[in-house]
Amino acid sequence: MVMIARRFGVLSDPMRIRLLHSLHDGEKNVSMLVKGSGSSQTNVSRHLQTLADAGILARRKVGAQAFYSICDATVFQLCELVCDGLKKQHAARVEILARRLAR
């Protein structure tokens, strides 16, 4: 249970989700991720380290540059499940609202 809670905790930050989304198409270096995130290099690096420590990202060093890639693709399956659940929940709320307005 603790390991599951930790995994959800790692994925609970919107910036980390943004970074995962940026890496969906393949490996990127920190500079590319900073540019795409609109955040500071310090902040992005901190979140990348958290994701790497959790075993979700792999890091490859080339000289002074660090490149990150997804090493646990199940994270995207989890995100899809959550998104599908949220879409269903939203659709149900819209339907309830529409019925109330139709009265």
Fold of the domain spanning 1-72: Arc Repressor Mutant, subunit A (1.10.10)
Q: What is the pLDDT of residues 11-37, one digit of tens each?
A: 999 999 999 999 999 999 999 999 999
- Secondary structure tally for the chain: helices H, strands E: 5, 3
How much is the average pLDDT of 83-103? Answer: 90
Four-point Cα dihedral 37, 38, 39, 44, nearest 10: 20
Average pLDDT, the chain: 94
So where are the chain's domains? 1-72, 73-103
Q: Mapping DSSP to helix (H, G, I), strand (E, B) and coil, where does residue 2 land?
A: helix
Burial of residue 29 (CB within 10 Å: 0-12, 13-18, 19+) is middle
How much is the average pLDDT of 68-74? Answer: 96
> pTM for the complete prediction?
0.85
